[in-house]
Amino acid sequence: MAPNRGLKRVLKVAAAGAAAALILAACGSSTPSAKPHPTTAPSGKPAHGGTAYWAEAPQATPNWIFPFSSLTYFSVANLTQFQYLMFRPLYWFGQVKSSNPTVDYSLSLALPPKWSNGNKTVTIAMKGWKWSNGKTVDAHDVMFWMNMMKAEKANWAGYVAGAFPDNVTSYSANTKADTVTFHLNRAYSTNWYLYNELSQITPLPINWDITSAGAAPGSGGCSSLTPNAKTLSDCVKVWTFLTDNNGKAKNPTEAADLTTYATNPLWQIVDGPWRLSAFTTSGEATFVPNRAYSGPQHPYLSKFVELPFTADSSEYSALASGGAGAPNVGYVPTQDVPQNTGPIGSTGPNAPALKGSYNLVPVYGWSINYFPMNFHSGGDGGNAGPIFSQLYFRQAVQYLIDQPAVIKNIDKGYGVPTYGPVPVFPKNSFVSPQESKNNYPYSLAKAKQLLVKHGWTIHPGGISVCKVGSKCGPGIKNGAQLNFQEIYAGGTTSIDQTVAAETSAWSKVGIHVSLRSETFDTVLSTAIPCKVGASDCTWEFANWGGGWVYSPDYMPTGGEIFASGAGSNSGSYSSTTADTLINETHYSSSLKYMHAYENFLAKDLPVVWQPNPANALTEISTNLHGVTPINALLNLTPEYWYFSKS
């Protein structure tokens, strides 16, 4: 998801659980499992009512309500921290009472999938939960999603060519049994198909199948139970209306109209535990309980409010000041927390200004951190894309990322390295012995040697120049310069310091990178795949500061972000070797295929790997309970939160 971004691009989540070792089983047909995540024992009896305030990450506000998102809107801020509160996915991943990133059927809209025909057919039986308007969340709603997916897969950030829905040859609903059956083009790993394919589905209410406000539910034609070519063309019209043409309409009235998020009757039809009662264009979101929720846990709280902040310093001031309206769940900026000298996952001393009022709980998500460079970029006089396509250049850049130093000096000991496409922490069986080691430890000498060997004249502190085009690489002209721009998400001091440290190191070999700070949403909307030669394909480096949480692609097989043409492959990286290895992880759950895939990408550098700071140094009010533990997928579940009775 999420990617998040994915599910997709990770944000600092203001929820918590003490970090624990995550052990994912990747063998045979077993389901991934994990050790229990410790929790803080609540004190007092749960009280019904009250308002809990939760701090959004700096300049990272929800701006997309429709649960079908292109890469522009595919972020944790929009998915797991906003949409999922109102619109539940078909299958819920992440446990409430542990950090497990595993499927939780008690919180899912469907029963466990049933496989047949040699793992080439899968049937989904719905539970019969209800929408808030009294209608049943049924197989018809799943068909609506599938028809939309077939028609608009290019605008779904989780799309990978050849994977879902391309690998579905046909699908149909049995309305009497309330089931949906998918026929696949071959046998697949059943775990992978559940965790990375069926995980993408979010049933859509038939009331949304319209092409104009006030139209009769289902009149749009996209929810047909017998889909054909006309159905798909109808879906394009429905998608265009609901998304205001992916936010490009001059006069938006639906998903791109933030001013009506809390008043548009479409978005009040929910099947999650919450519905939106107020929303501002600055990103403040107020939720109240959905009294018709069919799930096992109805909210204790009367209201749940997400608060926007322009900088981590202003959020910290709100925590330290306290009083009415201060976040009950927030985060302490890295620069304000004492150094943690303990092992990865441990908790050091809290900030003195917060001690006694808040409990500090670091959160480490099921994530990696990186930023893309645009392989198709027309920047730098047309030389940027060809330069980024050279492995030696990417290696030189990577050799100058001093991950241990950043973790110690900037992240204050609350961070883990990213050496490849699989998280090295929490501990898991997916990560290979080779990826656990740093293939590119900091080395100024090696970075310089690579550039000189390939025809560059080095100007330390200046701008290095290509003197021998034939050595610099195909498409790189004599006189080309290592002179680029990086757009990055501002508002967080630790991110400011990290990008400054990286650019300083690169300058030592004449890789000049100028920095431009933007909002998180602006960076996301910039860092999207584009075509060579397109007028909008000039971005070079784009760093949103958080990489990727493996959600809703929960197994770290990487197709959504690294396969050729994938919807969340921001930099348009393409490798036939990588594509082949990714596909092998889809067909078999054997670790040898996963390890071969990750070992290749760890060295081939489809992106620039960065240290992964704790997703949040979370601060939780001492009188608020049920927040911990948080699963490693960073799902936000305030329906379990409550204030204790005095």
pLDDT by residue (tens digit) across 568-624?
999 999 999 999 999 999 999 899 999 999 999 999 999 999 999 998 899 999 999
The whole-number pLDDT of residue 646 equals: 58
Q: CA of 244: how far to CAs of 271, 273, 646, in Å? A: 23, 27, 49
Q: What percent of the chain has pLDDT over 90?
A: 85
Q: How confident is the model at residue 26 (pLDDT cuts 50, 70, 90)?
A: very low
Domains and CATH numbers, the chain: 368-613 (3.10.105.10)
Residues in a beta bridge with 549: 367
Cα 353 to Cα 56, 325, 336, 585, 620: the distances in Å are 20, 18, 9, 48, 14
**Residue 34 vs residue 257, higher pLDDT:** 257
Mean pLDDT over 472-480 rounds to 96
Whether 29 has a pLDDT exceeding 80, the answer reads no
Distance, CA of 311 to CA of 498 (rounded, Å): 16
**Mean local confidence (pLDDT), 524-551:** 94
Residue 6's pLDDT band (cuts 50, 70, 90): very low
Which residue is associated with the tokens 């697949």? 188
Closest Cα partner for 499 from 401, 573, 384?
Answer: 401
pLDDT reported for residue 97: 83
The pLDDT mean for the chain works out to: 91
Give the tens place of pLDDT for each residue, 356-374: 999 999 998 899 999 999 9
State residue 344's pLDDT score.
85
Can you tell me whether residue 54 is helix, strand or coil? strand
Is pLDDT of 127 > 80?
A: yes
Q: Is the pLDDT of residue 40 over 70?
A: no
**Looking at the predicted structure, is the pLDDT value of residue 5 above 80?**
no
Q: Which residues pair with 275 in a beta bridge?
A: 288
Tell me, rounded to whole angstroms, the distance of Cα 135 from its chain centroid: 31
Listing DSSP states for 553-622 in one string gives S-S---HHHHSTT-TT-TT----HHHHHHHHHHHH---HHHHHHHHHHHHHH-SSEE--EE-SEEEEEET
Q: Between 5 and 328, where is the model more confident?
A: 328
Tens-digit pLDDT profile for residues 508-523: 999 999 999 999 999 9
Stated pTM of the model: 0.87
Is residue 3 over pLDDT 50? no
| Number of alpha carbons in the 13 Å side-chain half-sphere of residue 195 | 27
pLDDT at 4 over 60: no
pLDDT at 281: 96
pLDDT bucket at 37, cuts 50 / 70 / 90: very low
Mean pLDDT confidence for 274-286: 98
Residue 278 has pLDDT above 60, yes or no: yes
Nearest 5°: phi and psi at 621?
-55, 140
pLDDT grade, residue 44 (50/70/90)?
Answer: low
DSSP letters spanning 327-346: -SEEE--GGGSPPP-S-TT-
Phi, psi of 388 (to 5 degrees): -65, -25
From the list 135, 65, 145, 92, the residue with the least C-alpha distance to 292 is 135
- In 388-455, the DSSP E strands lie at 415-416
* 202 close to 195: Cβ distance less than 8 angstroms: no
pLDDT at 21 over 60: no
What percent of the chain lies above the pLDDT cut of 70?
93
Higher pLDDT pick, 37 / 329: 329
pLDDT value at residue 23: 31
Q: Which pLDDT value is given to residue 631?
A: 75
The backbone torsions φ and ψ at residue 114, rounded to the nearest 5 degrees and listed phi first, read -115, 130
Question: pLDDT of 231-243, one tens digit each?
Answer: 999 999 999 999 9
The predicted structure's pLDDT at residue 100: 78
Reported confidence tier of residue 527, pLDDT bands at 50, 70, 90: very high
Contacts of 333 (CB under 8 A, 6+ apart): 312, 313, 315, 316, 492, 493, 494, 617
Q: How do residues 379-413 score in pLDDT, each as one tens digit? A: 999 999 999 999 999 999 999 999 999 999 999 99
Q: Compute the distance between CA of residue 70 and CA of residue 267 in angstroms, rounded to an integer.
A: 18
